């Protein structure tokens, strides 16, 4: 069941498509009139606006599918060997992520947390000071 926030996001997605359609169609008509009137450069825009509208429709479909929670169809293993290779790769990536997270925890354990906008003691001693006494570079 969709929540109120989800319904609101879906309405905004639809509104975005309606707005993109209005802009692209009106710009297409204007450029078509200009091209028919003798402006050769406008012919490029005559073909550009429908392409942009096609991209807007593509994004609209993608955003709606994402909002509904539909699985992505981009990565699919077609053979058992590909499925095994994909699973091994995902396990490798998970292990790398775990190592990075552990290293970050260890790094934070060694360094005292600093307030936003302030430098730690090790940074303050290695940063040259200006005449005013701050660490900014003029």
Tokens of 58: 């593509």
Across 13-30, b (16+ Cβ under 10 Å) vs e yields beeebeebeeebeebbee
Three-state secondary structure call for residue 38: coil
pLDDT tens by residue, 77-128 = 678 888 888 889 999 999 999 999 999 888 888 765 555 555 555 444 444 4
pTM: 0.51
- Domain extents for the chain? 4-68
Per-residue DSSP letter, 128: P
């Amino acid at each position: 069941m969709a929540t109120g926030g989800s319904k609101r996001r879906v309405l905004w997605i639809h509104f975005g498509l309606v707005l993109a359609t209005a802009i692209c169609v009106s710009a297409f008509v204007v450029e078509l009139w200009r091209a028919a009137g003798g402006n050769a450069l406008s012919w490029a825009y005559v073909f550009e606006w429908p392409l942009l509208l096609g991209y807007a429709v593509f994004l609209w479909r993608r955003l709606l599918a994402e909002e509904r929670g539909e699985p992505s169809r981009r990565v699919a293993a077609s053979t058992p060997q590909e499925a095994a290779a994909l699973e091994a790769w995902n396990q490798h990536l998970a292990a790398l992520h775990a190592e990075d997270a552990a290293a970050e925890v260890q790094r934070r354990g060694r360094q005292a947390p600093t307030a936003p906008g302030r430098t730690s003691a090790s940074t303050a001693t290695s940063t040259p000071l200006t005449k005013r006494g701050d660490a900014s570079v003029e």
